[in-house]
Amino acid sequence: MKWKKLGAGPGCFENEMSLICTLLLGLPLFILLTVIAISCNADGKDNMTNATIQEITYHFGDASVPPEYHRSYTVTVTTDRVRIVVDSYGDILADKEYEITNKHYNDIKNSLERNKIKNCTLGDDEGCTGGTIERISFSDGENEIFSGSVYHCGGKDTGNLCGDITSFADDVKNLVPNFDKLFL
């Protein structure tokens, strides 16, 4: 009897049991692909495209300036609403809420990915004071899925938030009608 080698790999011949060959070759391939998939995303979650994201928050903390000039704000985007709260050292100056469409919400979710918003390690804080801070977070409605912040001070950035934060912030602010008038 003549043995004919199959193209699948060493040890798999036509007259051998195909289940053994499948296990010998398929199992290592399955394990390899699983390891690659998990290692590409260390926590095993696809945070940027996760369909469970129900709330996205962008916060801007203003620099240390006199109260009449200080304007910090938080914009919270949900599947059907956008809310902005503007404050000066904790005193609420504006608190507005607007309806949005599902398309607007999905555009903001896509903006996270498009602008490569992610955690990273930035330089060390060398005691700089008086800068501004930006924070982006999102949750499933109950549990925070992602959070990162960057402190801009003295021409340096410290924190754990990277990506095109300015473009993402612009996308979020564009959801708020008359955004600039809220700061008067």
What spatial distance separates the first Cα and last Cα of the chain, rounded to whole Å? 92
Strand ranges (E), the chain: 55-61, 72-78, 81-88, 91-99, 118-119, 132-139, 144-153, 156-159, 161-162
Grade residue 47 by pLDDT with cuts at 50, 70 and 90: very low
As a whole number of angstroms, the distance between CA 42 and CA 33 comes to 14
As a whole number of angstroms, the distance between CA 26 and CA 32 comes to 10
Residue 128 pLDDT greater than 90, yes or no: no
Higher pLDDT, 115 or 22: 115
Residue whose C-alpha is closest to residue 173's, from 81, 84, 71: 84
**Tell me, what amino acid is at 168?**
F
Q: Which pLDDT value is given to residue 75?
A: 98
User: Where along the chain do its domains lie?
Assistant: 1-40, 50-183
As a whole number of angstroms, the distance between CA 70 and CA 87 comes to 8
Residues in the chain: 184
Mean of the per-residue pLDDT values of the chain: 81
Grade residue 183 by pLDDT with cuts at 50, 70 and 90: confident
CATH topology of domain 50-183: Mago nashi protein (3.30.1560)
How many alpha carbons fall within 13 Å on the CB side of residue 83? 9
Higher pLDDT, 46 or 161: 161
Mean pLDDT for 12-40 is 43
Mean pLDDT for 101-125 is 94
**3-class DSSP state for residue 168?**
helix
Mean pLDDT for 9-20 is 49
Q: Which pLDDT value is given to residue 70?
A: 93
pTM of the complete model: 0.72
Structure tokens at 105: 């919400």
Mean pLDDT for 142-163 is 95
Residue 159 pLDDT greater than 80, yes or no: yes
Q: Which pLDDT value is given to residue 11?
A: 52
Mean pLDDT for 47-71 is 86
